[in-house]
A and B are shown apart, each in its own frame.
Chain A
Amino acid sequence: MSEVPVDPPVWRRDFPYTSSGEDDVTRRDFVRYLMLASAGFAVGNVGIAAWSSLRSINHGEPQRIVKLADVPEGGSYLFRYPTADDPAILVRLPGDQLAAFSQKCTHLSCVVYYQESDQRFECPCHEGVFDARTGDVLEGPPPRPLGRIDVEVRDDGAVWALAAEES
């Protein structure tokens, strides 16, 4: 009776008895896995960069906020933009300059308030402070500026929100 030759099982190919065979197989395999991991990290980094770029694209439809005459110089006005779930704040800075930002703190999304005396936004949760003109972080834990909302004054004397930058 003749025996039918069978292929060695996979585990024996991966874990050979002799060290010479093991040396050749596992090192090269490991090098290949490292190369693939490196390529995977590169793809991930490109994805993160693309995500970072895409999320700064403006979004939202033009929306009337308030009549300019109803916001005193140095004062602020709360509204919602781009959706009804997004609190936003419009400030009329000295020099008749307008600025609008998302009211969500970039740290943990608490609502920021305008401090007229210092011309800055303050987050009461963890004492984050933002510049009222630029939205940049001045103090505290927030990692990035407030989301800016582009505004303009139209012929009807009202302030319109044009688009929001995702924060």
Chain B
Amino acid sequence: MIPRSRRSVTSAVLVYLLLIVSLQIFLVTVAVDALQSGNDGLAWTTAVVSVVLAAGGALFYRYLRSS
């Protein structure tokens, strides 16, 4: 039987990652829009935010593995 607290941690990380992936999908639409309008600055800003979010997701996952 899995301790309740551990399941809660897994669920919390799951929710955070769902939010991160939702944001990533939104950022892809922003990046494509920037590409269409020739706005390089916005495309790179979007890419940086996306990488930061992905790194955050990886940290959450690492925390989950260590817990």
Contact = CB atoms under 8 A, between A and B. Distances in A.
Interface of A: 20, 23-24, 27-28, 30-32, 34-35, 37-39, 41-42, 44-46, 48-49, 51-53, 56, 143-145, 167
B21 to A, nearest CB: 5
A13 B5 CA distance: 24
B38 A34 contact: no
Q: For chain A, what secondary structure do more than half of its interface residues adopt (helix, strand, loop), or is it mixed?
A: helix
B27 A41 contact: yes
B11 A27 contact: yes
B66 interface: no
15 contacts: A23-B2, A31-B61, A34-B57, A35-B58, A41-B27, A42-B47, A44-B28, A45-B27, A45-B46, A48-B32, A48-B47, A49-B40, A49-B44, A52-B40, A56-B40
